Amino acid sequence: MSNATLEKGINSFVKMIDAPIASFFSSCVSCGMCADACLFYQETGDVKYTPIAKLEPLRRAWEQEYTLFGRLKKLLGLSKKITNEELKQHTELVYNSCTMCARCSMVCPVGNDIAYMIRKMREGMAAGGFAPAGLIGASNRAVEIGSPMGLTLHALSAQIKHAEKATGITINLDKSDVEYMVLLSSMELINFPEYLEAIAKIFKQAGKTWTISSTAFEATNSGIQIGSSDIARILVKRIVDSAEKLKVKTVISPECGHAFTAIRYEGPNLIGRKYNFEVKHILEVLDSFNEAGLLPTEGLEKEKLTFHDPCSLARKGGVIDEPRRLLKKVSDNFTEMTDHGARNWCCGGGGGASAIEEGEPLRLKAFKTKQKQIEETEATTLVTACANCRIVLEEGVEHYNMDMPIVGLTELLAEHLVDKPKQKLKKEAKQ
């Protein structure tokens, strides 16, 4: 067994630095606008949370290793070394107080993608042994048990049975040659079992075949959050292997932001090839059902709704119009927050932050921005499409006594689903 060392961490920095990062560091003019986009700086006013400042060790690694003057300074012993002490201090900055929400990347006037750099910096932090305990634990469970929350196949089977009983629909495990392979997040399974029922109902109504893999039901990826491509690869590989073994056409990411980006955008790069199947977020699938007339709903929500865009879904995933089209099917009383879609504010728990216990007070403090945005809408129900956001939002809502139910969009749609025979649906679609 080999331990993490500072050298491994620095080596990883050097390995991760690419042309985009070099161009980003070359372009920074220290204007500090990234701080104003960051929920952690916004609510604390503490300059140490300035996004670009969190990257200082990575910046020095770039300067010392990849620039002429940096090399000269290093040769003459004039450069400031990256130390254990410094990186230990950066754990809080790179993990606890950064959700990789990429709001900073969005506002940087020279176009620096700071979230991209944080993701790369975490590679070195993880390799150097500077990752927070919460994420190390999650990664361990994800690799060894199959789920970051330690959820086993046994627990899944119980949930499936429960859902089958509630809906009267049979849910098949490991059925090959079906159209869709549905992934779940353990958070969802434990906290929001209604999701599984909603999926079963909607897919039955749409007449689509689907399955869940017993070897790869977990969609979340702790490797991405902790910043270890090696661990992330193992987790993605499981899904890819199962999907290709079952010969499914499409793999569906559940209502979980980072799981979607992990499989959809990072996955192929982790395993080094393109997939033989498509990856879609559940909202993208539902939207396509809706477009094909396969998602008949009735009735409208009585409550005034607003929608929290999960960062990984909207700004970092490109799923922005789909939830709105779906929401308008079941509500005529839907209000947007001031900053929504690609400009949304993070719930405060993304990028693995919610798994870091000691980060909770800061997280709750940072939630205030979201709180304000929600309260301004005067909505009575908050809809979202990410189990992690949902839990963090629930914590925040509770902490600030907001008294507001939070629901997943998929479940909301399932509640309004009309049970119509397929023939009739097809006829309607033709008209």
Partner 1 sequence: MQKLNATLMDELNRRGISRRSFLQYCVVLASTMGLSPVMANQLPEKLLNTKRQSVIWLSFQECTGCAEAITRADKLTLENLIFNFISLDYQHTLMAASGSAAEEAKHNAIEKNKGKYILIVDGSIPIKDGGVYSTVAGETNLDILKRDAKDAMAIVSLGSCAAFGGLPQAQPNPTGAVSVDEIIKDKPIINIPGCPPIPNIITGVLAHVLTFGIPTLDQYKRPVAFYGSSVHDNCYRRPFYDKGMFATNFDDEAARSGWCLYKLGCKGPMTHNACAVEKWNGGVSFPIQSGHGCIGCSEKDFWDSGGFYESMASPVVSAETISMAAVAGVGVGVAATALNKIKKAKSLKNSEPVTIKDLKQEEA
Partner 2 sequence: MDDYMSLLLLSKGLLFEIALVIFIFGVLLRLFEIFSLGRKKDLSEPKANPTIIGIKTIFTRSIPSYEMMTKRGFLIVNGIIFHVGLFIVVFLLAPHITVIDRLIDLSWSPLSSQIINFATVVTIFSMIVILVHRFTHPVMKALTTSGDYVAWIVTFLPIISGYMAYNHLLLPYNLILALHILSVDLLLIVLPFSKLSHSFTFFMARYYSGTISGRKGVQL
Q: Residues with Cβ < 8 Å from 48, sequence gap 6 or more?
A: 93
85 near partner 1 (CB under 8 A) = no
**Secondary structure class of 404 (helix, strand, coil):** coil
400 near partner 2 (CB under 8 A) = no
The answer to whether 351 and 256 are in contact (CB under 8 A) is no
Q: Kindly state the DSSP code that residue 264 receives in the 8-state scheme.
A: I
Quickly list H helices, 340-408: 360-377, 387-399
Q: Kindly state the DSSP code that residue 55 receives in the 8-state scheme.
A: G
Report the Cα 365 to chain-centroid distance in Å.
21
User: Of residues 4, 11, 44, 53, which one binds partner 2 by CB under 8 A?
Assistant: 53
User: Two tokens at 226?
Assistant: 């902790």
User: Of residues 5, 7, 18, 372, which one binds partner 2 by CB under 8 A?
Assistant: 18
Nearer to partner 2, 135 or 270 (CB): 270
User: Of residues 14, 155, 173, 190, which one binds partner 1 by CB under 8 A?
Assistant: 14
Task: In angstroms, give the least distance from the CB of 1 to partner 1.
Answer: 5
The site partner of 53 among partner 1, partner 2, none (C-beta below 5 to 8 Å per kind) is partner 2
The site partner of 35 among partner 2, partner 1, none (C-beta below 5 to 8 Å per kind) is partner 2
Per-residue contact flags (x/-) with partner 1 for residues 25 to 54, judged by CB under 8 A: ------------------------------
23 near partner 1 (CB under 8 A) = no
33 near partner 2 (CB under 8 A) = yes
The answer to whether 323 and 307 are in contact (CB under 8 A) is yes
Task: In angstroms, give the least distance from the CB of 20 to partner 2.
Answer: 4
User: Two tokens at 405?
Assistant: 């139910």
Nearer to partner 1, 69 or 338 (CB): 69
Task: In angstroms, give the least distance from the CB of 48 to partner 2.
Answer: 8
Task: In angstroms, give the least distance from the CB of 52 to partner 2.
Answer: 7
270 near partner 1 (CB under 8 A) = no
User: Of residues 109, 168, 207, 405, which one binds partner 2 by CB under 8 A?
Assistant: 109
User: Of residues 20, 32, 129, 341, which one binds partner 1 by CB under 8 A?
Assistant: 129
Angstrom CA distances, 322 to 106, 286, 299, 327, 386, stand at 21, 8, 20, 9, 14
The answer to whether 332 and 404 are in contact (CB under 8 A) is no
Count the site residues for partner 1 by CB under 8 A.
Answer: 32
394 near partner 2 (CB under 8 A) = no
The site partner of 317 among partner 1, partner 2, none (C-beta below 5 to 8 Å per kind) is partner 2
Residues 227-286 that bind partner 2 (CB under 8 A): 261, 264-269, 272-274, 278-279
Q: Residues with Cβ < 8 Å from 174, sequence gap 6 or more?
A: 211, 212, 213, 214, 215, 246
Q: What whole-number distance in Å separates Cα of residue 216 and Cα of residue 181?
A: 10
Task: In angstroms, give the least distance from the CB of 292 to partner 1.
Answer: 43
15 near partner 1 (CB under 8 A) = yes
Would you say how long the chain is, in residues? Answer: 431
Nearer to partner 1, 122 or 280 (CB): 122
Q: What whole-number distance in Å separates Cα of residue 342 and Cα of residue 105?
A: 11
Q: What whole-number distance in Å separates Cα of residue 74 and Cα of residue 80?
A: 8
Going by C-alpha positions, the residue among 56, 120, 51 that lies closest to residue 83 is 56
Count the site residues for partner 2 by CB under 8 A.
Answer: 62
Q: Residues with Cβ < 8 Å from 40, sequence gap 6 or more?
A: 46, 49, 97, 98, 362, 366
Angstrom CA distances, 36 to 39, 50, 172, 296, stand at 8, 8, 48, 43
36 near partner 2 (CB under 8 A) = yes
User: Two tokens at 135?
Assistant: 């994420």
Nearer to partner 1, 17 or 35 (CB): 17
67 near partner 2 (CB under 8 A) = yes
The count of other CB atoms within 10 Å of the CB of residue 83 is 12
- Interface with partner 1 (CB under 8 A): 1-6, 8, 11-12, 14-15, 17, 65-66, 68, 71, 84, 126-129, 131, 136, 139-140, 143-144, 226, 228-231
Residues that bind partner 2 (CB under 8 A): 17-24, 26-33, 35-37, 41, 45, 47-48, 50, 52-53, 66-69, 102, 105-113, 116, 261, 264-269, 272-274, 278-279, 314-318, 320, 339, 342-343
